[in-house]
C-alpha cells in the first residue's frame, strides 16, 4: 500500500509540474519580448528629472522672504535689547536718559539700537531653506540635509 501511495503522489507532482506552464499563461518568449520592450522604453526616456517649477518658485519666494527679514531685522526693526557695533550694553538707555538735559536734547539715539536677533536668525534660516528648495528642484542638482551636515551635489553632463 505504501508504494501505491508514493507512486500516486509522485504521479500527481509530475503532472502538476508539467501542467503548470500551460496554466501559467504567456510563454517564456512572450515574457522575454515584454521585458525587452520595457527595457527599451526605459532607455529611451531621459534619466534626468525635469525642473519642478512649483518647488523652484516656492524656493525663490521663501529665500526672498528670508532676505527681506534679514534686511528688516538690521534696519527698521532694530531693538533696544541689543547693541550695535562696539557700544556698551546700556548705551541706548543712557542716551535716552541724557535727552532730558537741554544740551543733549537733539541726540539721535536710534543709531545705538542693535539688530533684532530673532528676525535676523529666522531670516537666515528661511533664506537657506529657500535656496535649498530651489536647488532641489533643478534637474542636475540635489540637496540632502542631515543632522550634522548639508550636502549639495551638482551633476555635469557631457
Note whether 57 and 118 are same-domain residues. yes
Residue 128 CA to residue 65 CA, distance in Å, equals: 11
More confident residue, 46 or 96: 96
Number of domains in the chain: 2
Model confidence at 31, pLDDT cuts 50, 70, 90, reads low
Beta bridge partners of 49: none
Helices first, then strands: H and E counts in the chain: 5, 4
Residue 35 sits in the same domain as residue 58? no
Could you tell me if 134 and 72 lie in one domain? yes
Residue among 155, 115, 135, 147 at smallest CA distance from 63: 135
Higher pLDDT, 66 or 42: 66
A 10 A CB-CB count for 126 gives 19
Indicate if 39 and 71 belong to the same structural domain: no
CB 108 within 8 A of CB 116: no
> Domain range holding 125?
53-154
Question: Is 25 in the same domain as 82?
Answer: no
Is 66 within 8 Å of 127 (Cβ atoms)?
A: yes
143 and 68 fall within a common domain? yes
Cell 524656493 belongs to residue: 59
Give percent of the chain with pLDDT exceeding 90: 18
Looking at the fold, whether 26 and 66 belong to one and the same domain comes out as no
Q: Based on the domain organization, do 38 and 61 belong to the same domain? A: no
**Rounded distance, CA 124 to CA 118, Å?**
10
Say if residue 40 is in the same domain as residue 114: no
| pTM for this prediction | 0.56
Same domain, 75 and 122: yes
Amino acid at each position: 500500500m505504501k508504494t501505491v501511495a508514493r507512486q500516486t503522489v509522485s504521479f500527481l507532482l509530475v503532472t502538476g509540474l508539467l501542467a503548470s506552464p500551460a496554466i501559467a499563461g504567456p510563454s517564456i518568449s512572450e515574457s522575454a519580448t515584454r521585458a525587452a520592450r520595457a527595457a527599451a522604453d526605459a532607455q529611451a526616456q531621459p534619466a534626468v528629472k525635469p525642473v519642478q517649477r512649483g518647488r523652484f518658485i516656492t524656493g525663490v519666494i521663501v529665500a526672498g522672504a528670508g532676505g527681506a527679514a534679514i534686511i528688516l531685522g538690521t534696519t527698521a526693526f532694530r531693538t533696544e535689547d541689543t547693541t550695535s557695533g562696539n557700544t556698551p550694553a546700556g548705551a541706548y538707555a543712557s542716551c535716552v536718559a541724557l535727552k532730558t538735559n537741554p544740551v543733549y536734547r537733539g541726540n539721535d539715539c536710534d543709531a545705538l539700537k542693535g539688530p533684532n536677533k530673532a528676525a535676523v536668525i529666522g531670516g537666515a534660516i528661511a533664506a537657506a531653506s529657500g535656496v535649498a528648495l530651489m536647488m532641489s528642484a533643478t534637474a542636475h542638482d540635489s540637496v540632502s540635509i542631515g543632522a550634522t551636515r548639508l550636502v549639495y551635489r551638482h551633476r555635469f553632463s557631457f
